[in-house]
Amino acid sequence: MEENFHIRMINISKSFDKNKVLENFNLNIKKGEFITILGPSGCGKTTTLNLLAGFIFSEKGEIWIGDNEVSNIPSHKRGASMVFQNYALFPHMTVYDNVAFGLKIRKLSKNIIVKKVDELLTLVGLEFIKYKDRYPHQLSGGEQQRISLARALVIDPEILLLDEPLSNLDAKLRNNMRVEIKNIQEKLGITTIYVTHDQEEALALSDRIALLNNGEIEQIATPKQIYNSPNSKFVADFIGHSNFIIGKISEILQDKAIIKIFDNLDIHTDLSSFMKKNKQVTLIIRDENIVISNNKIIGENVFEGEVDSSLYLGPFQRIYVRVGEVTLTVYCKAEQLRKTPIKGESIFVQLERNQLMILPGELDIDSSQT
Amino acid sequence: MTLRKHRWAFLALPNILLLMLFFIWPLLYILLYSIYTYDPFQIFIRKFTWENYVKVLTNDLYVNAIFNTFQLAIIVTFFVIIMAYPVAYYLARTKSKTEDTIISFMILAPVLISVVTTSFSWVILLSPFGTLYRILNALNLIDGPLRIMFTKTGIIIGLTYGQIAYMVMTLRSALSNIDWSLIKAAKVLGASPARAFYEITLPLSLPGVFFGAIVTFSLSLSSFVTPYLLGSRLVKVMSIFIYDNIVSVYNWPLGSATATVLFIITTILLGLITYIFEKRLFGWLKY
Amino acid sequence: MVEILRTNKIIKTYTYLILVFLWIPLFVILSSSFTKTNFISFPPELFSLKWWMKFIATDTYKRSTWLSIRISTIVAPISLIIGLLSSIVLVRYRFKGRNLFKIFFNMPYTIPQVVFALSALLFFTSFGHINIIHFIICHIIITLPFNIKIISASLQLTDPNLEKSARVLGANEITSFYKITLPLIKPGLIGAFLHTFLSSFNNTTIAIFIGTPKLWTLPARIFSEIEFHAYPDLVAAASFSMILSFIFMLLIHKYIGISSLYK
């Protein structure tokens, strides 16, 4: 198993003052993989990146890059290259000197350097002649980020680290750059670790996502798996918009379970191994998976509710529906309903059984849901 | 009119008036007196002449003094930069706030003590038969009296002492402003710590060095108390000539001319250099 | 990694050596004032208070010290108020010539003190004899730039919206400044006051140029006596000035932190 992984972080512990950021942290990354470390602020994702780069050192544990254990090797000897959120281009050097920096240190001949700089600038979509003598402060954010990428890649690093590289760009530019980064990464096949707090970015770019919470990996899986099969409330809550409904298992039948939500609400779900009668469970269903209609729906788990409020979002809308004591958030196309729902209007929702995720226990709902 | 909107401008009036009446206007007196003629009995006669300037700019003694003044200022600035830079670097990099506060305090405290007192102390230490003499004599490194006082060396020591603190704070500020991620970037690209310092930190700190040097140079040029006490009037710098002419010989016209020359050199020339350099050399700073 | 640690150690040692270097004169002056010998000597032969007694008893020192104190006491509040008013203008209001104003107000600091001292001498003597008012005027001018610097720094830390909130609630400009901003910049004001007092007390160059036998401040006295009367009572006088400065320094540090003088 071990030979398959390009990067291995084994039992890493790192504290700052008395604050334990990572404890017995383990992460394995395959060669050529694009993995994103995702999580809220303070979860330890930047610390992980800094440990890999060699800017900080762990108290315990090992870091393997390829066949080398690198935890004692300083950053300028590790072969890990990094792209920073604020680009970190050397302001007193031209674009050419910036990109050539790493090559000059490696004492390559001038001809080779010029050739490589040209190659990389072209790879990131910038014309060599036009840009080589410009200074960073003369360029836009997008151009600076591309140069930053070129500079990081020109030295043929073993691994590429990116620390929220697109956070400083506006939305449209960010989307474009995402595609470019992904394309370049696939073309070069370089093992890449990407840190971000933007889940959309993580879902779009990654081969795998590692979702971090307080220094622990809550789930590490492909984007599809993480989205459709979150293994904890935290994951379900962090990625996408979900409804959380607490209930008690009232009956277990051959092909389904019946969950009681308050007195008059029963939801039928698939069976799960942990289910026992009278056990508390939390049902999770994504906003976009709830079926909604003005007319009565035929099927299982259909409820009539009252519209609380709605938000028009252009091609989509978000509708808040009260069903008994529960308020559900529904996300659907604008043309789904006859007209814009009004407060107090009667409406029908369906929670299809195969869209319901069930987790044991009464997991408290926090306001980050909205 | 916009008078109501700008009525707050009157707050600045006391300062403006004060400066115009008692600062700008008196400065013109120097210009005026510098072209009067000297008279041993009346101090000056209101007869216009250029002879004072001629003397200042051509007379051997005076030209020598101008040269001395420059030489001292350059040497002092050089030493101050060399001595202050590592301290500023350490201060800028230290992670402990207590250490930062304590060291900052200890660096700046000696500066707030009057310059007479500190120069006096150096006189005691560097006297021909003073402390340093006694130490070197005990180590058999010296025979006759110590020849540091009454020479340029003594003045250099005294002036350097007085300027280090300011340079440290200026450099420290410049160094702290350097974006740490630039160093990180250099490191992941393969630069050793020494190389990162040489290629990134040092060049980016140069504007700070430059502006600190300008101030140190200017203060050293016009310094009076330290050269007077440590050189004991044997080393002639321009400020001492001004003093001699005004207070001892009462040749106010000549003193005024000397002062004007000093003023032109210090304020206008250095101001011009700063302006030019700011525009041409450090353009990349404005990002 | 080892290379980094070693270099850091060297720099640290060097820094502490410089600190020692900077504090040697303070130590020299203070300890030499307690010498038993009849001449200035460092290292001194401890321990005797006779030179301090002589300093306290000598009329000339007393007069000079008292003169310095009188001047500083009058200079400090006046310079503070003028500086405060100018700081308000510079910090709170945007107008076209703002940078020029800054440079203009800063001029006493950028012009060599010898030149200013000379101009003051020439100017004031054209009206008659030098008196204490002239000292006061000169010191106010010299201390204003630093005042403005300290107070402006304090002012910039306060949110102008606080005053605006008070105004929309009904307070006029003076009241809102007095009740809201002034308390917030109090440490800055105290620090500026202390620094002005100290600067004025320690000022040497101007004192030497415009001073007369009747108006000879303590720093000027120390300056002139080094040439003519270099005995340990002079060292005691210098120590006194040094201790005073040190006390002020600690107070300044308490209120605004000493590094804010040089940012």
The values of phi and psi at residue A284, to 5°, are -125, 130
- Residue C2 is predicted with a pLDDT of 52
Query: Which of B30, B118, B121 lies nearest to residue C118, judging by beta carbons?
Result: B30
Based on the number of CB atoms within 10 Å of its own CB, is C168 exposed (0-12), middle (13-18) or buried (19 or more)? exposed
pLDDT averaged over every residue in chain A: 89
> Quick one: pLDDT at residue C200?
96
Does B287 sit within 8 Å of A91, measured CB to CB? Answer: yes
- pLDDT (tens digit per residue) in B101-142: 899 999 998 888 999 999 999 999 998 888 888 888 888 887
Out of C12, C32, C104, name the one closest to residue B90 (CB): C12
Choose between C205 and A276: higher pLDDT. Answer: C205
% of residues, chain B, pLDDT over 90: 49
Q: What kind and span of H or E run contains A333?
A: strand A326-333
**What is the dihedral sign for C-alpha B4, B8, B14, B19?**
negative
- C4 vs A contacts (CB less than 8 Å): 74
Nearest CB to B195; choose among A77, A88, A105: A105
For the cut 80, the answer to whether the pLDDT of residue A35 exceeds it is yes
Question: pLDDT averaged over chain C?
Answer: 90
User: Looking at this protein, which amino acid is placed at residue C138?
Assistant: C
pLDDT band of residue C4 (cuts 50, 70, 90) is: low
Contact C23 B110 (CB under 8 A): yes
Question: A332 - beta bridge partners?
Answer: A317
* CB-based contact C92:C160 (threshold 8 Å): yes
Q: Which residues pair with A10 in a beta bridge?
A: A62
pLDDT of A117 over the 80 cut: yes
Q: Determine the 3-state secondary structure of A206 from DSSP.
A: coil
As a whole number, mean pLDDT of residues C98-115 equals 90
Tell me the pLDDT band of B263, cut-offs 50, 70 and 90. Answer: very high
CATH topology (fold) of C59-261: MetI-like fold (1.10.3720)
pLDDT at A147: 95
Name the phi and psi angles at C221, rounded to 5.
-60, -45
pLDDT, tens only, C215-248:
999 999 999 999 888 889 999 999 999 999 999 9
C176-194: b (≥16 Cβ within 10 Å) or e: bbeebbeeebebbbbbbbb
Closest CA to C206 of B168, A109, B26: B26
Q: Is the pLDDT of residue B39 over 70?
A: yes
Cis link prior to B78 (omega < 30° from 0)? no
Evaluate whether the domain defined by A241-362 bears CATH number 2.40.50.100. Answer: yes
Best residue in A51, A99, A105, A147 for a mutation probing chain B (most B CBs within 10 Å) = A105
Does residue C115 surpass a pLDDT of 70? yes
C-alpha angle with apex C230: C228 to C231, nearest 5 degrees? 135
Q: Quick check: A151 contacting B, CB < 8 Å?
A: yes
- Residue A47 to residues A24, A40, A221, B162, B193: CA-CA distances in angstroms? 14, 13, 21, 44, 21
Residue B237 has pLDDT above 60, yes or no: yes
The more confidently predicted of residues B286 and A30 is A30
Nearest to A144 by CA among A203, A199, A83: A83
Q: Which of B188, B199, B287 sits opposite A75 (nearest CB)?
A: B188
Query: Which two tokens mark C67?
Result: 């003169």
> Residue A34's pLDDT is what?
96
Q: What ipTM goes with this model? A: 0.90
Closest to C122 in 3D by CA, of B224, B27, B264: B27
pLDDT score for C263: 64
On the question of pLDDT at C16 being above 70, the answer is yes
Q: In terms of CA atoms, which chain C residue is nearest residue B161? A: C22
Three-class SS state of A341: coil
Q: Do domains A2-236 and A241-362 have the same CATH topology?
A: no
Of A267, A75, A242, A240, nearest to A152 (Cα)?
A75
- Mean pLDDT, chain B, as a whole number? 88
- Least confident interval from A13-27, A138-152, A195-209: A13-27
Q: Cα A238 vs. chain centroid, distance in angstroms?
A: 9
What pLDDT is attached to residue B111? 86
**pLDDT at position C49 over 50:** yes
For residue A217, what are the contacts with CB-CB under 8 A and spacing of at least 6?
Answer: A25, A26, A27, A210, A211
CATH T-level assignment (fold) for domain A2-236:
Rossmann fold (3.40.50)
pLDDT per residue as tens digits for the range C145-175: 999 999 999 999 888 888 888 888 888 888 8
Supply the pLDDT for residue A364: 56
Q: Is A74 on the interface with B (CB under 8 A)?
A: yes
- Give the DSSP letter string of A135-169: -GGGS-HHHHHHHHHHHHHTT--SEEEEESTTTTS
**Could you tell me the CA-to-CA distances from C170 to A272, A360, C163, C174 in Å, in that order?**
66, 58, 11, 12
The rounded distance, in Å, linking the Cα atoms of A253 and A267 is 13
pLDDT at B275: 81
User: Quick one: pLDDT band at residue A325, thresholds 50, 70, 90?
Assistant: confident
Q: Considering only A204-208, A351-355, B250-254, C161-165, which range has the smallest mean pLDDT?
A: C161-165
Confidence of residue A367 (pLDDT cuts 50, 70, 90): very low
> How is residue C116 written in tokens?
């200013």
For chain A, which residues make up each domain, given as ranges?
Answer: 2-236, 241-362
Q: What is the CATH number of the domain that holds B197?
A: 1.10.3720.10
Considering the domain boundaries, does residue B271 fall inside one?
A: yes
Which of A251-260, B3-12, B145-154, B182-191 has the weakest average pLDDT? B3-12
> What is the distance in angstroms between the Cα of C174 and the nearest Cα belonging to chain A?
42
Q: In this model, does residue C56 exceed pLDDT 70?
A: yes
pLDDT value of position A1: 47
Taking contacts as CB-CB distances below 8 angstroms, the residues of chain C near A74 are: 1, 4
Residue B4 is predicted with a pLDDT of 64
Return the residue of C nearest to A75 by Cα. Answer: C1
Per-residue confidence band for A369, with pLDDT thresholds at 50, 70 and 90: very low
Query: B122 to chain C: nearest residue by CA?
Result: C25
Cα–Cα distance, C2 to B62 (Å, whole number): 55
Domain extent, residue B88, equals 44-285
**Count of domains observed in chain B:** 1
Indicate if the pLDDT at residue C30 is higher than 50. Answer: yes
Any idea where the domains of chain C sit in the sequence?
Answer: 59-261
Q: What is the pLDDT of residue C3?
A: 54
Q: What confidence score (pLDDT) does residue B148 get?
A: 83
pLDDT tens-digit series, residues B159-197: 999 999 999 999 999 999 999 899 999 999 999 989 999
pLDDT range class, residue C1, cuts 50, 70, 90: very low
C177 in reach of chain B (CB within 8 A) = no
Average pLDDT of span B88-95: 90
Q: Does the pLDDT of residue B278 top 80, yes or no?
A: no
CA distance B135 to chain C (A): 10
Q: Give the C-alpha separation, A264 to A274, whole Å.
A: 24
Comparing A100 with C93, the larger pLDDT belongs to: A100
- pLDDT tens, residue by residue, C68-99: 999 999 999 999 999 999 999 999 888 888 88
* Helical ranges in chain C per DSSP H: 2-32, 50-57, 59-92, 98-110, 113-125, 132-157, 160-168, 173-176, 182-184, 186-202, 205-210, 218-228, 232-256
- Say which amino acid occupies C119: S
pLDDT at B140: 84
Residue tagged 């140079």 (tokens): B217
pLDDT for res A368:
39
Greater model confidence, A211 or C167: A211
Top-confidence residue, C162 or B232: C162
B77 has a pLDDT exceeding 90: yes
Q: What would the two tokens of residue C131 be?
A: 């008196």
Percent of residues, chain A, with pLDDT higher than 70: 97
Q: Residue length, chain B? A: 287
Q: For residue C94, how many other CB atoms are within 10 A of its CB? A: 5
Q: Can you tell me the distance from the alpha carbon of A332 to that of B267, in angstroms, rounded to the nearest whole number?
A: 72
* pLDDT at B287 (0 to 100): 42
Mutate to test the interface with B, among A52, A92, A117 (most CBs of B within 10 A): A92
- Identify the three-state secondary structure at position A297: coil
Q: Is A107 on the interface with B (CB under 8 A)?
A: no
Specify which residues A75 forms β-bridges with.
none
Number of A/B CB contacts below 8 angstroms equals 78
Instruction: Nearest by CB to A88, from B181, B193, B196: name it.
Output: B181
The SS3 of residue A296 is coil
Contact (Cβ atoms closer than 8 angstroms) between residue A6 and residue A65: yes
Q: Which two tokens stand for residue A125?
A: 């979509």
Count the alpha carbons within 13 Å of A25 in the hemisphere toward its beta carbon: 30
